[in-house]
Amino acid sequence: MTRSATKSSPVELETKSRVDDLISRMTLREKIGQMTQFAGQGGIPNNLRESIKKGLVGSILNQVGVDTLNEIQRIAVDESRLGIPIIIGRDVIHGFQTMMPIPLGQAASWNPKVVEKGAEVAAAEAARYGVHWTFAPMVDITRDPRWGRIAESLGEDPFLASRVGEAMVKGFQGKDLSQPDRIAACAKHFAGYGYSEAGRDYAYVNISENELRNIVFPPFKACLDAGAATFMTAFSDLNGVPATGNEFLTKRVLRDEWKFDGFVVSDWDSVIQLITHGFSENEKEAAREAVQAWVDMEMASRTYLQNIESLVKEERIPMENIDRAVRAILSVKEKLGLFERPYTNPELFPVNGNEKYMDVAKEAAIQSCVLLKNDYQTLPLNRDKIKSLAVIGPLADDGFEQMGTWTFDGVEEWCQTPLQAIREKAGDEFEIHVAKGVDTTRSKDKHGFAEAIDAARKADTVVMFMGEEAILSGEAHCRADIDLPGVQNELLREISKLGKSTILVVMAGRPLTLDQTRHYVNSMMYAWHPGTMGGPAIADLLFGDATPSGKLPVSFPKMVGQIPIYYNQRNSGKPASHDSFTHIDHIPSRATQTSVGNTAFHMDAGFEPLYPFGFGLSYAHFEYYNLRQSKDSFTKKETIEIQVDVHNPSRYQGAEVVQLYVRDVAGNITRPVKELKGFKRVNLDPGETKNVSFKIKPRDLSFYDRNNKLIIEPGLFYFWVGGNSNAELGGKFHLIENLDQNQNNA
């Protein structure tokens, strides 16, 4: 199966690199071919075969089937003039056939190692099927749970998204991209897509350069530093210049400043959409704008193939730019080892969905679940005490739905559902009463209520599986009302009237507004869409064979009107506090207007989210004490160390994600009230205490100032250490210019 595909003589290759050699021999049309990505058409129709033979296809996306893909490569390698292999792309977003939790769920694990392993499995499974390149990770920061693609995101925070995003890149690509079980990653969507107005997909975004640099860009930069081979542009119109024709983004920042040497692909049809945006008058201008912005490869639409030749001849696109783009594309193909190994041979790989891969998926699902409420320690369930359990809800036994969005290749039959896993745990020990209650999460039909209430009545404990079907999140699936859809809340209310101990497991692709829901249940666990092994993971957590340890990667609003609500907000001149907040119900009628003492809050929702960023309970309990710091002041050349002891006084083994937040008290621009600067996951046995240490370097405190320059600014900083973004245990330190200043401070 292994063969050399480049038709150059060894002598030539000695003097020129393969890529330079190819570029020197390519016609302009062949170069444009490399810059063109065809959408898979199912099979190999004649037009595709002919285009490949002519060297007009650099890449294909969403074409599947080992035989088809190997045949496509054979045509490229054997029948095109230069024999350049094709790079096959696919949306391997959170698994290929074995599905990990959705990316937002993976971010809730706050465990880059688990995330990396998941991406490693996804890469091996996809590579086995002839895929070379995934369009992941998506590292768009978002503060809007209405946006369907929040499911695909890594949450609201640049630091967490950076750590999780880079872990995905490492998992996909490994240390050596040419290994057969690795695939190229793609950091997307550069940039600003997650700020789509009102959470409506594809809508306009308005983000200042400063916000881009301080909040939106960092996860992209982290992916680049982790070696991401490619970037994808965004569909969005960013401040009037759509991202696919935005020189500032893909040339100035990505290439000139960050020195990215991989290639940039447009999003699906996003070049031709430059016309729809009202940015380019016609396809030729759209192609010119995109190439000028250094967008190297066009996905799906064909404006490059049809227009670049004449644009070059008219000297409206410099030839050097084309050569640069082609060099970047060919270099990625070379790094992938495609010239040596254009074909896939599945027999050389472990089979997909093997036990090891399933274990990775299960561990990822366990660590991504977030326990939001656990009154009276309803969880974990005690197998010895339960006589009968009711398992109710539309998502208790639906493998397809638990996989979540972007699961083109996910195998439904491999999915183990919560009901199956609970049955396995129950054996003959306790009875299980099952009812769906409603057919789908959206259904408004209440015919199933009676059966569900009956099942609940017969049981001593009720576990409800509710949330959103997979199709209610993801691309172009945004919602304005993000409560539990359909009549699920009504069903919960009816069941709560029975007074049984009730647990709700939510599967969803976004934070839902749970302000009403939470009152109907004793315990609430957020499982996102947990993937193939969601069932066994949830069952282990319910029965205490595992302890929940996930933490929210995004704030959960009480109601839609609070959006955007995020922890790293600016303070305002009138920050709200519990003392200043007045609920609408407490304002006397005919009250006269006053602004004295008034602060930034909603009269009906307060100023806090329902659950803050970083929040998540455990069966164990963690105490923080003995906070200490190595210095009170440190210079720009030094490091400060912050340590804390974390103790688990409970009888459960558990893992705590210890989080470090910092506030820069005054800056050249106003700074967020808190910023996550570090986190560590620690396992603690019952009674165990561990010392957790964070080192802060001055560079960690840097930010882009009002002139968009990266600065490290001396001054006073507060810090907090704890289990969520409301952590109260903290202290302060000074960053100083030099030691003299230290004495002045003392």
Active-site entry in 91, 140, 157, 267: 267
Q: Are strands 461-467 and 523-526 parallel, antiparallel or unpaired?
A: unpaired
Name which of residues 266 to 285 contact ligand BGC (CB under 6 A): 267-268
* 578 exposure class (CB count in 10 Å sphere: 0-12, 13-18, 19+): exposed
Question: Closest approach of Cβ 188 to ligand BGC, in Å?
Answer: 6
Q: CA 239: distance to chain centroid? A: 24
Angle (deg, nearest 10), helices 355-368 and 534-542: 50
If one asks whether residue 172 binds ligand BGC (CB under 6 A), the answer comes out as no
Site string for ligand BGC, 64-93 (x = CB under 6 A): ---------------------------x--
Name which of residues 342 to 381 contact ligand BGC (CB under 6 A): none
Name which of residues 32 to 61 contact ligand BGC (CB under 6 A): 61
Active site residue 267: yes
Comparison of 286 and 727: residue with beta carbon closer to ligand BGC: 286
CB 118 within 8 A of CB 109: no
Question: Closest approach of Cβ 329 to ligand BGC, in Å?
Answer: 17
Question: Closest approach of Cβ 288 to ligand BGC, in Å?
Answer: 23
Comparison of 373 and 477: residue with beta carbon closer to ligand BGC: 477
Q: How far is the C-alpha of 178 from the C-alpha of 731, rounded, in Å?
A: 48
Question: Closest approach of Cβ 735 to ligand BGC, in Å?
Answer: 40
| Residue whose token pair is 């002891």 | 645
CB 235 within 8 A of CB 279: no
Question: Closest approach of Cβ 46 to ligand BGC, in Å?
Answer: 24
Comparison of 189 and 213: residue with beta carbon closer to ligand BGC: 189
Question: Closest approach of Cβ 476 to ligand BGC, in Å?
Answer: 8
Q: Are strands 640-647 and 689-696 parallel, antiparallel or unpaired?
A: antiparallel
Comparison of 230 and 307: residue with beta carbon closer to ligand BGC: 230
Question: Closest approach of Cβ 510 to ligand BGC, in Å?
Answer: 17
If one asks whether residue 135 binds ligand BGC (CB under 6 A), the answer comes out as yes
CA angle 431, 379, 483 (to 5 degrees): 95
Give which of 262, 252, 188, 175 is closest to 220, Cα–Cα.
188
Comparison of 187 and 293: residue with beta carbon closer to ligand BGC: 187
Q: How far is the C-alpha of 681 from the C-alpha of 319, rounded, in Å?
A: 51
Q: Residue 320 contacts by C-beta under 8 Å, 6 or more apart in sequence?
A: none
Q: How far is the C-alpha of 673 from the C-alpha of 612, rounded, in Å?
A: 14
If one asks whether residue 717 binds ligand BGC (CB under 6 A), the answer comes out as no
Comparison of 91 and 398: residue with beta carbon closer to ligand BGC: 91
If one asks whether residue 237 binds ligand BGC (CB under 6 A), the answer comes out as no
Q: Binders of ligand BGC: how many residues, by CB under 6 A?
A: 7
Name which of residues 454 to 483 contact ligand BGC (CB under 6 A): 475
Q: How far is the C-alpha of 130 from the C-alpha of 343, rounded, in Å?
A: 7
Q: Torsion-angle region of residue 537: left (phi > 0), alpha (psi -120 to 50) or beta?
A: alpha
Comparison of 267 and 409: residue with beta carbon closer to ligand BGC: 267
- Residue nearest ligand BGC, CB atom distance: 135
Question: Closest approach of Cβ 235 to ligand BGC, in Å?
Answer: 6
DSSP helix/strand/coil, 425:
helix
Q: How far is the C-alpha of 59 from the C-alpha of 299, rounded, in Å?
A: 9
If one asks whether residue 220 binds ligand BGC (CB under 6 A), the answer comes out as no
CA distances from 354 to 97, 113, 358, 360, 391 (A): 11, 20, 6, 10, 29
Q: CA 481: distance to chain centroid? A: 22
Burial 363-398 (b: 16+ CB within 10 A, else e): bbbbbbbbbbbbeeebbbbebeebeebbbbbbbbbb
Question: Closest approach of Cβ 698 to ligand BGC, in Å?
Answer: 37
Q: How far is the C-alpha of 49 from the C-alpha of 47, rounded, in Å?
A: 6
Comparison of 92 and 222: residue with beta carbon closer to ligand BGC: 92
Site string for ligand BGC, 578-607 (x = CB under 6 A): ------------------------------
Question: Closest approach of Cβ 528 to ligand BGC, in Å?
Answer: 19
Question: Closest approach of Cβ 234 to ligand BGC, in Å?
Answer: 8
Tokens of 161: 């998204």
Q: How does DSSP assign 476-515, residue by residue?
A: T---S--SSPTTHHHHHHHHHTTT-EEEEEEE-SS----T
Q: How far is the C-alpha of 322 from the C-alpha of 585, rounded, in Å?
A: 65
Of the residues 94, 188, 213, 671, which one makes contact with ligand BGC according to CB under 6 A:
188
Comparison of 476 and 591: residue with beta carbon closer to ligand BGC: 476
Alpha-helix residue ranges (DSSP H) falling in 293-347: 303-313, 319-335
Comparison of 228 and 727: residue with beta carbon closer to ligand BGC: 228
* Counts for the chain of helices (H) and strands (E), in that order: 22, 26
Comparison of 137 and 612: residue with beta carbon closer to ligand BGC: 137
Query: Which residues are part of the catalytic machinery?
Result: 267
**Binding residues for ligand BGC, per CB under 6 A?**
61, 91, 135, 188, 267-268, 475
